[in-house]
Amino acid sequence: MPTLFEKIIARQIAGDIVHQDDRVTAFRDIHPRAPVHILIVPNKPIPTANDIEDGDEALVGHMFTVARDLAKREGIADNGYRLIINCNTHGGQEVYHLHVHLVGGAPLGPMLSR
Ligand code: AMP
């Protein structure tokens, strides 16, 4: 079964795609938690951070350079932003296709609530 994000990557279901190349796709989160909330996703389905393999280092690095470029393009680089990867149940992961959340555009408060 393809993941929800694979369907967005393949344009089988609608997504607000802001970047796509041969390795990653980035699209706006459907329930944004901040003025800018973009998900950067590998085109190949890696379920969780636990499933990243040594051979994926360049791919994962590319996810971060795309996040950097999108932050600049969205105008949030100078004020700052947060990059988040949730993993499994305790991490609050909802979609089991690895993704980096790029969130910013307003003060985000403390990293974790107590
Ligand atoms: P996570 O909890 O880290 O797995 O985050 C999954 C994210 O995917 C959540 O922030 C959701 O709002 C987002 N999401 C779920 N469905 C869609 C969709 N169809 N298009 C864009 N974002 C989505």
Give domain status of residue 90, yes or no. yes
The answer, yes or no, to whether any atom of ligand 1 lies below 6 A from the CB of 14, is no
On whether residue 112 sits in a domain, the answer given is no
Domain membership of residue 110 (yes or no) is no
Q: How far apart are CA 102 and CA 70, in angstroms?
A: 9
Which residue range forms the structural domain that includes residue 19?
4-104
Number of domains in the chain: 1
pTM above 0.85, yes or no: yes
Domain of 12, CATH number, reads 3.30.428.10
Neighbours of 42 (CB within 10 A): 21
Whether 111 maps to a domain, the answer reads no
pLDDT tens string, the chain, 114 residues long: the values are: 899 999 999 999 999 999 999 999 999 999 999 999 999 999 999 999 999 999 999 999 999 999 999 999 999 999 999 999 999 999 999 999 999 999 999 999 998 877
Q: Residue 29 Cα, ligand 1 centroid: separation in angstroms?
A: 6
89 CA to middle of ligand 1, Å? Answer: 15
